[in-house]
Amino acid sequence: MTTSTAPEILADALAGCCNTAGQPLTDEQAGQLARVFKALGDPNRVKLYSLIAASASGEMCVCDLTEPVGLSQPTVSHHMKLLVDAGLVIREQRGRWAYYQPAPEPLTAAARALTRT
């Protein structure tokens, strides 16, 4: 049995919501979409996501994220947890450090959900 990751859950919840029939989102889809927007509702989290997405390696260690945003490591870790919970980033533990990489599908799904095609 495999477990779904937050990005997979979000993609599943928003599947088919780029709705050419003009149907409104279901309650579940709206809830998932709201979590994405809520996670991006803080400038620090937007900046953290941007830093990770723009990194040359496509991932960043939490230890490298504190200085660019001017926040302590516990505060950055809190913000990153919210981004992970929303499905926007994927976390990988390597020894004592956590590494993050963007999960682009939730942003694409969010845009499709609210865009009439």
* CA–CA dist 102, 117 (Å, integer): 26
Q: Let me know how long the chain is.
A: 117
User: How do the pLDDT tens digits run along the chain, 117 residues long?
Assistant: 344 444 454 555 555 444 434 678 899 988 988 999 999 999 999 999 999 999 999 999 999 999 999 999 999 999 999 999 999 999 999 999 999 999 978 888 888 888 866
6-113 fold? Arc Repressor Mutant, subunit A (1.10.10)
**Cα torsion angle, 34, 39, 40, 41, sign:** positive
Report CA-CA distances (Å) from 80 to 36, 38, 44, 116: 13, 13, 10, 31
In this predicted structure, what is the pLDDT of residue 72? 95
* CA–CA dist 63, 51 (Å, integer): 13
* CA–CA dist 84, 70 (Å, integer): 20
Distance of CA 28 to the CA centre of its chain: 17
Report CA-CA distances (Å) from 66 to 41, 59, 81, 103: 19, 14, 14, 20
